[in-house]
A and B are shown apart, each in its own frame.
Chain A
Amino acid sequence: MGKAIKEYIKIAIRNVRTRRLRSWLTMLGVVIGIFLIMSLLSLSEGLKGAVMQQLRMMGKDIIMIMPGEITDIVSMMVGGLELTDDDIKAIKKAEGVDVVIPMTYKGIAMRCQGEKRTVLLCGIPLEESLDMLKTDMGFTLVEGRWPVPGKREIFVGYLVPEEIFSGMKTGTQITLKGKKFEVVGVLKSVGSKQDDSQVYVDLDIYREITGEREGANMAMAKVEPGYSTEEVVENIKESLDESRKRKRGEDLPSYTVISSEKMTDIVGNVMGLIQVAIFGFASIAIVVGGIGIMNTMYTSVHERTREIGIMKAVGAKNKTIILIFLIESGIFGLVGGLGGIILGLGLAKIVEIYCQAQNLFLLKASITPQLIIFGVFFSFLVGCLSGFFPARKAAKLKPVDALRYE
């Protein structure tokens, strides 16, 4: 059987080549479908990878506290909701909380070597949180040193000297709201364009510059050793509930307390769902490609009825006929699939290069052997499945009837 397969493949290839234009058009249908699937899967996988990598840089014992409900993402992201100083205190008081870092950020004009640009200024209490930033948030310096709290010193994300103020280095003087500061450190890239473009200052200085006296956009808490993260999440919730009720008489929790692990899970799930949806839509294109193959194969069986009769007369079994036709439709799937893989992954790579060149965001096309193998098998499978009914029709032909066919 093994030796015969080689011959059947030769016969099938010859048939595909005999009707060249039709074969190319049929394969084009598959190319489009696989092209869509491959480019979208590669890019969405790359996006997922980039987001997940950032989340994973956070330690597992980190809890995020954000104002607003997680279900109301829009107001959480853009809305002016803030955590108050009372909230921060309540978080600090909760059992099992080691350190709390209130995170505040605001877009602000920055002047450097005569140029003026708007940057995202981030205020963090350096004294308390530097250790946590280093161990749990993946903050590492590529250049310079950490600022000394109380001094007019800042450190900047990786992309700030790279792209925003080219020529900036440690020791460069900058101006924020008319006050002079010195750049003392440059962070190593954390993989996110937004984070890498931020400018960091001590919280006290931040408040001095912005005039904001209290509150924070969000806070991060580190769990004290010996406590489980989920336990502390509950403690923080309770403590916040209590504090808010007492202070303002509110009883609806309007904040989200979530562990970094949970956050990673949620984001992973959301991204996974998006991928499934993408795959679903792209599959419609491949179904159309499959119908194209089926159509071509039915036409082929019809045209080659006599040929099938001859093959049966000289000893071809039904399963041989099925096999020859399945190989033929499999070739349509496979060749179309290879074309689609090359074009799809090529497009994904172009998008990646474009994004990097334009500094839109850090998107890497995910081109893995698994994805390519999946593409090859999937397209071959589509070809074989589409060819199944036509092949069965061919095999069922009675030799005498087939020979008589004009």
Chain B
Amino acid sequence: MGKKPLIKLEDVWKVYQLDSLKLPVLRGISLEINPGAFVTMMGPSGSGKSTLLHIIGCLDVPTKGRVFLEGQDIMELSEDDLAQIRGQRIGFVFQQFNLLHNLTAVENVMLPMIFQGVAENKRVEKAKKLLASMNLEERIFHRPSELSGGEQQRVAIARAQANDPEIIVADEPTGNLDSTTGEMIMEILIDLHKKEKKTIVVVTHDPNIAGYSEEIINIKDGQIITNHKTAEKVLWEKQ
């Protein structure tokens, strides 16, 4: 196709050092994610999929190998440069929601904008709009403890969009939710992909998301076992 990948990993290794023991979590991962893709990563727990997601989201750096974001080698960047990239180009959705407990919903959504120096009136306007799009108009001044799990996750998704990032990475976003709420959250993510043209990378066990996904990466023991594009998926399923 000749489409330039948005994210490219080349022989990425992540090795944790536990005393004298070396524990490789990722072992030579190479992959490309195109702009606008919807990628699902699946695998048993401890397979390294979350670590891989963190590296894709610039939250962590590999022990060995290279990671490119639009051709820029992130290994050459400082911690503050990476923070800047996370703040501007990547939005995170976590299994644990990870909202700040002493901030209200609207303040949580504004937080990424504060770090980017967005003016207050613009921040408030944007955060309210995002929360409204998540059907949370009534809840903007509530703290996380006053919100249900699904509501908290919707606040988190609103926060992930605060600075209009191109990429949204989600680490088991439905893992802590009941199936109905989980479905609603997945629909929101799918919507973001369809309507907002976001590039979405999600780690999940949920077969429904996998079904929607354009690309499914199966990971086991720190290696990619299979990497199917949707076109191939049909064939693969029939086999």
Contacts and interface: CB of A to CB of B under 8 A. Distances in A.
A393 interface: no
Interface stretch (B39-47, B86-94, B195-203): B86-94
A400 B83 CA distance: 12
A315 interface: yes
Contact of B119 (A3, A15, A307, A309): A3
Nearest to B87: A315
B92 A314 contact: yes
A96 B153 CA distance: 95
Given A4-B117, A315-B116, A400-B54, A310 B86 contact: no
Contact-residue size bin, chain B (C-beta under 8 Å from the other chain): 20 to 34
B83 A312 contact: yes
B60 A318 contact: no
B225 interface: no
A288 interface: no
A403 B115 contact: no
B71 to A, nearest CB: 21
The listed residue with most B CB atoms (<10 A of its CB), out of A14, A15, A306, A310, is A310
Contact of B163 (A311, A315, A320, A400): A315
B147 interface: no
B119 A313 contact: no
B59 A315 contact: no
A316 B83 contact: yes
Interface string B75-113: 000011001101110001010001111110000000110
Contacts of B102: 14-15, 18
A317 interface: yes
Contact of B84 (A14, A313, A317): A317
Task: Please give me the 10 A-B residue pairs with the lowest Cβ-Cβ distance, nearest first.
Answer: A315-B87, A314-B112, A315-B115, A317-B80, A317-B83, A400-B60, A7-B114, A310-B98, A18-B102, A399-B59
Interface of B: 54, 57, 59-60, 79-80, 83-84, 86-88, 92, 94, 98-103, 111-112, 114-117, 119-120, 159, 162-163
Interface of A: 1, 3-4, 7, 11, 14-15, 18, 306-307, 309-320, 398-400, 403
